[in-house]
Structure formats: C-alpha cells, structure tokens
Amino acid sequence: MAKKILVAGGAGYIGSHVQKQLLEEGFEVLVFDDLSSGDEVNILPQAEFIRGNILDKPVLEMAMSEGIDGVVHLAAKKAVGESMVNPELYAENNLAGSINILNAMVKYGVKHIVFSSSAAVYGMPEYVPIDEKHPIAPINYYGYTKRAIEENMEWYAKLGKLDYAALRYFNAVGYAADKSITGRERNPQNLMPIIMEAATGKREKFAIFGNDYDTPDGTCVRDYVHVSDLAKAHTAAMKKLMADGKSFTVNLGTGKGTSVKEIVEACEKVIGRKLNYDYAARRAGDPAKLTANADKAKELLGWKPQYTDVEDIIRTVWNLEI
C-alpha cells in the first residue's frame, strides 16, 4: 500500500516541489498549509489538502491522525532580515510550530520526519566548501531556529520517539521544468525572484549588494541548487528513514560556487536583454563565499544534482514568464 506523507508547507516554493516529487514516486500526499506564503495553485490535483496552521494544534492533530506514515516539514518563516527585527514571530512559527508537529507525530505514532534546515546553521563560514562537521554558529535568529529544531529532533530520536533527516539547504533556485508549479513567491527576499521581478517589470530595478568582496569579481559567491534536485533529496531521505530508521543530517548543494554578477549575466543571456540594476552597499551578515560539500548526501542517499549549469536553472524560471 502506498505510504502517506504529510507535507507541512506543501504549497510553498520548495514544499510544492517536494509534493510533486513524492507523488511521482508513488507516495500519497497530504498538503498541510495555511497559505500565508504558499499558493493554492501549487497544490497538485492528486494531493489532498488541509488548510491549517501548525500553531493550531487541534487541526494539526486531526491531519496527523489521517493514517500518516511520515512528515516532511517545510512550514516556516525564512526571511533572515525579518528574523532579526521580529524574532517573536520566528519563535512562534519556527520553534513552537515545529514542536507542535513533532509532538503531534509522537501522539499519533508517526515515526519519520524530513526537516527543512538551512546552511544558516553554520553562520560565517570558517572554510568552504562547508561540510557537516563545520562548527555550528548561526549569526541570525532564523538560523538559530533551524538549529534549535535540529537539536530537539536529536533528543527525540535519542529518546526513541522518532527518527529524522535534517536537510541543510544552500541556495534553492529554479522551478519544475514541466511548469506544473507556477505560484511565485510573494514579496521575495532572494536574488533570483528579485531579478525575475525586475525582468518582468514588477520592479523597476534591483541592486547587487557589494562588489568589494574578496572573490574573483568582488560579488558574493553562493551555491545555487535546483529546487527539483532538492525535492529528490527529500524523497530519498524519507525512503531511507523508512528502510533503516537511522537519523542523519546532510548538506544539500552542488559544491559549485557562482557569483551574484555571474547569476545576473546568466539571466541576461537567458532573457536576451540587459537588466536594470545598480551596485549598492554590502548587506549585513552576508559571507563572501558559501558553498556546500555535499559528499555525505551522495554517500547516504545516492543524491547527485542533475542541474549543474546556472543557465539551465534560470531557463526553468524564465520559462514560466514567457
């Protein structure tokens, strides 16, 4: 019988791609989402949907009692800057909300959770590429919330309550190549959707934050990983937990660094015209270079990103606009 997965945050940008991948691999999917930042158009017809907030325990427990075999939890606030001015919001959603999910799982005997974590748990890189042994020292409240839930899952696993996979994403970009996921993020904070808003006239121009970093072209270097590749790591992680029940934590990135300037130039090439942007001051808290060593994900999950070329990645985004 098909296993049923509750995807908390399944209408969001990464969650909707996870939902799609689970369905394609034969899982049943129950999307649990309050649509505060996710979009109903992202919920595929084959998925069940409960509109609910993870802070609403009765609704969450009702969903968890629906014969769930595993949970993928991506229902979280993720704007780093906002987390530093309004940590209360992040404490409530990312800490209390996640604890509600874990406790509802324990209550209904759901054993496996794949958790959406972040490279933000590492803080300022001491070396790159970053492996999972790199010191943990988040420099923003958002990163702290991700680490705190990882630690809580470690405890619950030690106490025999559940098993977990913590997936530390680097920079998620792209959209499903078949255009089945169309909901764009509202009020985006990240580079790629901001460039797309400038390209489609939703905003007049954008800024490159800093061109005096110690990098080849002076702009920040990041590890951009396609969201469909990320989604595949979630299904692989869930299958592994279901097979051996051994908890683990892995980085998800390509290992390849791309600068902001290179991203902008690649976007201009794909779109076929120049974009309107300025150079602006550095953004607080940005490391010059952040790339992943994802060897552990490869070893444990056989995970290998299919998208390695940024232009291919950008095409999956631009194709939604044309």
Q: Indicate the pairing of strand 48-51 with strand 28-33.
A: parallel
Provide the minimum distance between the beta carbon of 136 and ligand UFG in the complex, in angstroms, as a whole number: 13
Single-letter residue type at 220: C
Structure tokens at 13: 């940008």
Closest CA to 25 of 52, 5, 9: 5
Q: Give the nearer residue to ligand UFG in terms of CB position, either 90 or 156.
A: 90
Q: Give the nearer residue to ligand UFG in terms of CB position, either 232 or 289.
A: 289
Catalytic residue among 13, 122, 141, 142: 142
Structure tokens at 142: 């958002």
Residue 142 annotated among the catalytic residues of the structure:
yes
Provide the minimum distance between the beta carbon of 223 and ligand UFG in the complex, in angstroms, as a whole number: 9
Provide the minimum distance between the beta carbon of 172 and ligand UFG in the complex, in angstroms, as a whole number: 7
C-alpha to C-alpha distance for 200 and 149, rounded to whole angstroms: 38
C-alpha to C-alpha distance for 177 and 78, rounded to whole angstroms: 24
In the complex, which residues of this chain contact ligand UFG (CB under 6 A)? 78, 80, 118-120, 142-143, 171, 189-191, 194, 206-209, 220, 222, 260, 283, 286, 290
Provide the minimum distance between the beta carbon of 150 and ligand UFG in the complex, in angstroms, as a whole number: 14
Q: Give the nearer residue to ligand UFG in terms of CB position, either 241 or 252.
A: 252
| Contact status, residue 245 vs residue 110, Cβ threshold 8 Å | no
Q: Give the nearer residue to ligand UFG in terms of CB position, either 8 or 29.
A: 8
Provide the minimum distance between the beta carbon of 120 and ligand UFG in the complex, in angstroms, as a whole number: 3
Q: Give the nearer residue to ligand UFG in terms of CB position, either 159 or 278.
A: 278
The set of catalytic residues is 142
